Amino acid sequence: YLDTNTTATDEKTYRDKALEITTDFTMEFPVLNLTNTIVERGGKAFLYIFSHSSSYLRNIRSRDAAAHCDELYFLFGMGFMNPNEYNERFTYSKDEEIFVIQMMRYWTNFAKNGDPNSADLPLWPQYNLESEEYAVLQPQPYVRQL
């Protein structure tokens, strides 16, 4: 996790590397193992990483990075709802408003058809063992390989 020539001396570096290790061990490796098993057995899988740190959450976090379950704020359109009991409102930037609609449509398409894609959405490739492509979900989604 650190280059062999790198010496970590600051708390932020240690924290970031500890988070990378923890994320790999608790999230990424189990998800990849399950995804590969599903595909090996003839199932369809659409793998993604949600990489967007929302403009709203940036104001209340010490790190500018997406965290586990952050996509739920977008998937369920939290910014379009009424203010919460603390009289705060989860708000979106203009790009995030477009992204929210894309997220909702991906999940709706998947629920209806078993495939998140439609002609008017950025491509979310079906995962396969050869290309190992997945979607990076953010306001300008793109495809990446493992």
Span 38-67, pLDDT tens digits: 999 999 999 999 998 776 666 555 566 777
More confident residue, 88 or 146: 146
Name the domain count of the chain: 1
Res 100 pLDDT > 80: yes
Question: Binning pLDDT at 50, 70 and 90, where does residue 70 land?
Answer: confident
The answer to whether position 12 is within a domain reads no
Q: Nearest Cα to 123, choosing from 143, 139, 102?
A: 143
Q: What is the pLDDT of residues 13-46, one digit of tens each?
A: 777 788 788 877 888 899 999 999 999 999 999 9
Question: Binning pLDDT at 50, 70 and 90, where does residue 79 land?
Answer: confident
The answer to whether position 9 is within a domain reads no
Residue 60, domain extent: 46-145
Res 91 pLDDT > 70: yes
